[in-house]
Amino acid sequence: MNKFGIYILFFLLITGEVSLAQQTTSSPYSRFGMGDLNSQFSSVFNSLGGGGYAINDSKIINPFSPASYSSYQSNSFLFSTGINNETIDIQSLTDNQTVNNLSLSHILFGFPLTKKIGSSFGIIPFSSIGYSMQNRDDFFGADMLYDGDGGISKVYFGSSLELHQNLSVGANASYLFGGLNRRKRLVFDDETIFNSRSNSLINIKGIYYEFGAVFSKKIDDNNSQISISINTSNNTNVDAKRTNLVETFEYSGTNEIVKDTFVNSVEKGSMILPKYTNLGLAYSLDKWLFVFDYSTQNWSDYELFEESDSLINSQRISGGLQYTPDISSVNQFYKRCHYRVGLALNTTPLQINNTQLEDKSISFGIGIPIKKNKSTYDISLILGQRGTTSNNLLKENYVKIGLSMSFEGIWFVKQKYN
């Protein structure tokens, strides 16, 4: 096995263990809908405001723009993976709590099939649930406990075709799978009264499709280039299965002893994954890259077992800037690095107490290319805020740190001997 293969195997083992051992979110807002949606993954895109839909680079895998796959160079083989760490300070008017989560961000592969056809496949977290809340009922002398965990992952395979020197189209076929687990407990102070608990586990699995096009053109003799992309999907029905369990119990020390079961049922249904559309613009000039992105999703069409969860349509606007002093510099390492900054404003699908939650963030990053083994290490830092303490809601101040590793290899090349 060559060094490239060893790097891949080693990092898969490390990040695979991290992803399985850690909870990916601890936000109370993840109890709604499908949980927290993972719109960010690679540090390259995270540091540019989380967009970059029009980035059409032969050395970057961009699964949110399937038309970009045809840009891969002949015989190249790309691999990218990474980890994200999120620290959230959750605030109410009277209290606050700080939580931390470490998780795998992505595992992606990209390669050309012919001179005009490229492909990519990989796995990306799609949504996640992770919350624990408690409320006190003094009248009945009882604590109401709510907690949840789980998430949905996305495995995709996509291809792109270059229709013209400046125009490519592409599509992804994505398979969603995973489980969303929500639990409730009612615990009385009076030990002579049986406590009660309910558990709702929803398993999701199904295929949906995404389509995209990207137009790229050099516009003058200074190697400046403009790229415009559009990507969309249709409303999709995804299979769902819900297992409900309602029981009474009592404590024996710290153990919960079941006394009676009232509900133990399995229900099959579906989830409507709503249509999204995103538009991207990328403009590069000499040492500079500018990106601007807009996306919207019709969450008012969302249903899970014919329940909408009161979600509304969401919109996201982001922009980013990248500066590379001299990518061909030999002696001055810092000149080959990519320096990035970005901004994002997201009106989320969550509307609680007649307030649509906003998510605002600023991001920074650096890309460190290693010429010796054709690898790049990307680091991102996102500082953001979601929600508000008004209207009896919660405000989340968060810090997200990401590390991504990308490798470029060569395949289908025969060895030559003298």
3-state secondary structure 5-43: HHHHHHHHHHHHHHHHHCCCCCCHHHHCCCCEECCCCCH
Alpha-carbon distance of 14 to 210, in angstroms, equals 31
Buried b vs exposed e over 199-212: b needs ≥16 C-beta within 10 Å? Answer: bbbbbbebebebbb
Q: What is the pTM of this model?
A: 0.89
Q: Please report which helix (H) or strand (E) contains residue 335, including its range.
A: helix 333-336
DSSP 194: P
The pLDDT tens digits for 254-297 are 888 888 998 999 999 999 999 999 999 999 988 999 999 999 99
Mean pLDDT of the chain: 88
In 3D space, the residue among 170, 148, 139 whose CA is nearest the CA of residue 34 turns out to be 148
Helix, strand, coil distribution of the chain in percent, nearest 5 = 10, 65, 25
206 in Cβ contact with 173 (< 8 Å): no
Residue type, 234: N
In the structure encoding, which two tokens stand for residue 169, read together? 């189209």
pLDDT at 38: 84
Query: Are 117 and 159 in contact, with CB atoms under 8 Å apart?
Result: yes
- Measured between alpha carbons, how far is 259 from 18 in angstroms, rounded to an integer? 37
Query: Which phi and psi (to 5°) does residue 13 adopt?
Result: -65, -45
Domain-wise residue ranges, the chain: 3-408
Model pLDDT, residue 16: 46
Question: What's residue 222's pLDDT?
Answer: 67
Q: Which pLDDT does position 23 carry in this prediction?
A: 57
153: nearest Cα among 99, 196, 103: 103
d(CA 386, CA 408): 37
Instruction: Tell me which residue of 393, 331, 342 sits closest to 366, measured CA to CA.
Output: 342
Q: Which helix (H) or strand (E) holds 334?
A: helix 333-336
pLDDT digits (tens, 9 = 90+) for 348-364: 999 998 899 999 999 99
Q: Which residue has the tokens 């994200």?
A: 84
Residue at token pair 């398993």: 203
The H or E element spanning position 352 is strand 338-352
Q: Which residues contact 77 (CB under 8 A, 6 or more apart)?
A: 109, 110, 111, 408, 409, 410, 411
Domain 3-408: which CATH number of 3.10.20.30, 3.90.550.10, 3.20.20.70, 2.40.160.60: 2.40.160.60
Would you give per-residue pLDDT tens digits along the chain (418 residues)? 445 444 444 544 444 444 444 457 788 999 998 989 887 779 999 999 998 999 999 999 999 999 999 999 888 899 999 999 999 999 988 888 999 988 889 999 999 999 999 999 999 999 999 998 888 888 888 999 999 999 999 999 999 999 999 999 999 999 999 999 999 999 999 888 899 999 999 999 999 999 999 999 988 766 789 999 999 998 899 999 999 999 999 888 888 888 899 899 999 999 999 999 999 999 998 899 999 999 999 999 999 998 888 899 999 999 999 999 988 887 888 899 999 999 999 999 999 988 999 999 999 999 999 888 789 999 999 999 999 998 889 999 999 999 999 998 876 555 555 4
Q: Distance from CA of residue 412 to its chain's centroid?
A: 32
What does the alpha-carbon distance between residue 229 and residue 214 come to, in Å, rounded to a whole number? 4
Of the CA atoms within 13 Å of residue 378, those in its CB half-sphere come to 29
pLDDT for 413 equals: 52
